[in-house]
Amino acid sequence: MLAIIGGSGLTQLASLEITRREVVRTPYGEPSGALTFGQVCDQAVVFLARHGYGHTIPPHLVNYRANLWALKHVGALGVISVASVGGIREDFGPGVLVVPDQIIDYTWGRKSTYFDALDQPVHHVDFTHPYDQALRQRLLRAAAAAGQAVHDGGVYATTQGPRLETAAEINRFERDGADLVGMTGMPEAVLARELELPYAAINVVANFAAGRASSEQGISFDSIEVVLHEAMLRVRCILDSLCVEDA
C-alpha cells in the first residue's frame, strides 16, 4: 500500500475512491488527522493531510513522528510527500515540479528521531541519500507516462517556519548549495528512514524565494494560490500514473 502525505494545496485526492477513515493512536501522540484509505486505479492508497484537513497545523508543530509511525503501523510500504516550496534556482520558477534528491536541514527543536530514550542503545541511520532512489525513479517514470514535466534532482533546504525567509537567508542557502526552500522536508524524511519506509517527494514551486522575483513588492500570496491550484492538478495526474504502474 502506498502512502501519500499532502501538503499545502493538496488536502485531498480527487481520484481516491475512499473506503474508510481511521483515527490511529500512536506512542508519539496524535497524527495530523485521520488516515483516509481507498483506491486509485485499483491500487491501495492511504492519504494524510500533513497540516490537518483544515490546514490548521503550522510546519513547526506538525507531529512528524506520529504521522510516519501511523502510516507504517497501517501497512504502508512507501511514502510520497507532496509539498509546496520556494524556488531559489533561476529555472525553478512558479509552477515547476521537482523530484528532489538531497536535503539540507536548518530546522531546530523538532522531534527528529525515534531513538531518543536514554535506556536505548545509540542508533544511527545512513542518510547519505535522503530520498529512496527506487521510489524517485518510479515517480519520474510516472511523470513521463502522464506527460508531465518534472526536474530530476534538486537540493531542498528545510527551514523552521512558519515565517518565510529573508533575502539574505536565501542567499546563504544558495551558497550552501540549496535549490529549493520549504518547511516540512525534515524531520519527515529521516523519520521515514528510521522506520525503513521508502520515501520520495514531489515539490511544487509556488513562488520564487525571497529576493529572487523580479518584483520588489515581495511575495504575493494571492499568486501562490493560483499557482498551487494549477500545479496540484498536474501532481494528481502523476500520482494517478504512479498508481497505474503499481496496479
Q: Residue 236, annotated ligand binder?
A: no
Distance CA 191, CA 199 (A): 10
**One-letter amino acid for residue 126 of the chain:** D
Tally the C-alpha atoms within 13 A of residue 110's C-alpha that lie toward its C-beta: 28
Q: Residue 15, annotated ligand binder?
A: no
Q: Is the pLDDT of residue 110 over 70?
A: yes
Write down the mean pLDDT value for the chain: 90
Q: Residue 26, annotated ligand binder?
A: no
Contact indicator for 210, 169 with CB cutoff of 8 Å: yes
Q: Residue 209, annotated ligand binder?
A: yes
pLDDT attached to residue 201: 97
Average pLDDT over residues 182-207: 96
- Predicted model pTM: 0.91
Residues 156, 162, 165, 170: what is their CA dihedral angle, to the nearest 10 degrees?
-10
Q: Residue 183, annotated ligand binder?
A: yes
Contact indicator for 46, 71 with CB cutoff of 8 Å: yes
Q: Residue 207, annotated ligand binder?
A: yes
Average pLDDT over residues 134-162: 96
Q: Identify the structural domains of the chain with CATH numbers, from first to last.
A: 2-246 (3.40.50.1580)
pLDDT category, 219, cuts 50, 70, 90?
A: low
Q: Is the pLDDT of residue 246 over 90?
A: no
Q: Largest alpha-carbon pair distance within the chain?
A: 54
